[in-house]
Copies of this chain bind each other. A is one copy, B any other.
């Protein structure tokens, strides 16, 4: 498995991208991204479980129901989420799909649609039409980064990656771009990802591999990673490499690479978390089963008191244990152990048998002063474990979110 330098959605064979600024963002920043395959693709998607899905989510679910294996493009706008917009919003999403299809000279059901931005505002279709026209005229291998930039909202940097992987039948490449940085609860700030690959993968296998990759990446950054109105991960596979992912070994290796692409993008989202200054890798080990480990880890990772302590570089292990204690799992206090660490200093044990271990304040402070921190909680109850990733909660987060819309 190899990282493609500066790679993104256009790294796999047969994909092009473009971006334009059509005025949906009042700042005038790019707000329309187009990813197009030169040949028909299989496609799969994983969407929010929110009960109020945005119009593009409803439309994509419908479009992917057709299992057409003829998908050609993903068109994404930023600035307006097209969520809570009623029947008019759904019609606007359809129009966005139709306009893109027309410009690409294909059928509407060959186009998938994504939106991110403010909830409750209707899309300006006339502006979109101009942007779509410009983007189609500018399609190029070189515009992967431009597309990754055009899907940003409160993100401060683009998030993209591409990996090439050797399969028995030859080399395939998987590329991807993502956006999202509302990191206290990623479920509430839209998280979008568009993945592309030149492997040939049948739709049922593709859907299974995508679901599995998303569950261990985007759904493990903070909590409820799949429940905003717009959250969507789409993948298009165009088979341009001529390599068929069918036999067991190919599926396994492709799956591993897809996991890695998703994890890289998910970590990039946490690192760009709104106001974030720390990146925390939190592992819960010694759990009776994986689901319990995930539950405890997510409860800790979303605790405002743990996240503010992290911002302050405060080794407040009591808040970590208190959060674990309310995760709904029966715990044995006398078996708990907790470590913090970083790459430079290694690990320091803060808690042993449920009580404070032997450590000095300056040691802990030195570890927490680094931007990348690990935390490991051993429940002492079994063999299962899980890892989640989160960031700290800072003044800057409050500023961004108290002022975002107005």
Q: Say whether A246 faces chain B, with CB atoms less than 8 Å apart.
A: no
Contact A318 B119 (CB under 8 A): yes
Q: Say whether A114 faces chain B, with CB atoms less than 8 Å apart.
A: no
Contact B119 A326 (CB under 8 A): no
Residues of chain B contacted by A309 (CB below 8 angstroms): 401-402, 404-405
Contact A304 B185 (CB under 8 A): yes
Contact B404 A354 (CB under 8 A): no
Q: Say whether A198 faces chain B, with CB atoms less than 8 Å apart.
A: no
Residues of chain B contacted by A228 (CB below 8 angstroms): 322, 326
- Indicate which residue in B51, B224, B393 contacts A398 across the interface (CB closer than 8 Å): B393
Closest chain-B Cβ to A108's Cβ sits at a distance in Å of 23
Q: Say whether A403 faces chain B, with CB atoms less than 8 Å apart.
A: yes
Q: How many copies does the complex hold?
A: 2
Q: Say whether A86 faces chain B, with CB atoms less than 8 Å apart.
A: yes
Q: Say whether A184 faces chain B, with CB atoms less than 8 Å apart.
A: yes
Contact A322 B405 (CB under 8 A): no
How many Å lie between the Cα of A317 and that of B314 in the bound state? 35
How many Å lie between the Cα of A321 and that of B356 in the bound state? 43
Q: Say whether A49 faces chain B, with CB atoms less than 8 Å apart.
A: yes
- Indicate which residue in B53, B317, B326, B394 contacts A224 across the interface (CB closer than 8 Å): B326
Closest chain-B Cβ to A64's Cβ sits at a distance in Å of 21
Contact B402 A398 (CB under 8 A): no
How many Å lie between the Cα of A185 and that of B85 in the bound state? 32
Contact A304 B304 (CB under 8 A): yes
In this complex, what residue of B is CB-closest to A86? B355
Residues of chain B contacted by A322 (CB below 8 angstroms): 50, 52, 83-84, 119, 188, 228-229
Residues of chain B contacted by A393 (CB below 8 angstroms): 398
Q: A224-B326, A355-B120, A395-B395 are in contact. Are A305 and B52 (CB under 8 A)?
A: no
Residues of chain A at interface, number, CB under 8 A: 69
Q: A305-B188, A398-B398 are in contact. Are A52 and B85 (CB under 8 A)?
A: no
Q: Say whether A26 faces chain B, with CB atoms less than 8 Å apart.
A: no
Binary flags per residue of A386-406, CB closer than 8 Å to B gives 1, else 0: 000000011101110111111
Contact B398 A49 (CB under 8 A): no
Residues of chain B contacted by A50 (CB below 8 angstroms): 322, 325-326
Q: A322-B83, A326-B50, A398-B393 are in contact. Are A120 and B308 (CB under 8 A)?
A: no
- Indicate which residue in B52, B355, B402 contacts A311 across the interface (CB closer than 8 Å): B402
Contact B406 A84 (CB under 8 A): no
- Indicate which residue in B182, B318, B319, B351 contacts A305 across the interface (CB closer than 8 Å): B182
- Interface set, chain A 178-202, CB cutoff 8 A to B: 182, 184-185, 187-189
How many Å lie between the Cα of A153 and that of B372 in the bound state? 32
Residues of chain B contacted by A84 (CB below 8 angstroms): 317-318, 321-322, 333, 351, 354-356
How many Å lie between the Cα of A260 and that of B24 in the bound state? 50
Q: Say whether A316 faces chain B, with CB atoms less than 8 Å apart.
A: yes
Closest chain-B Cβ to A351's Cβ sits at a distance in Å of 8
Residues of chain B contacted by A324 (CB below 8 angstroms): 51-52
Residues of chain B contacted by A398 (CB below 8 angstroms): 308, 311, 393-395, 397-398
Q: Say whether A331 faces chain B, with CB atoms less than 8 Å apart.
A: yes
Q: Say whether A323 faces chain B, with CB atoms less than 8 Å apart.
A: yes
- Interface set, chain A 46-62, CB cutoff 8 A to B: 49-53
How many Å lie between the Cα of A331 and that of B50 in the bound state? 9
- Interface set, chain A 126-145, CB cutoff 8 A to B: none
Which 3 pairs between the two chains have the least Cβ-Cβ distance?
Answer: A119-B318, A312-B402, A52-B325
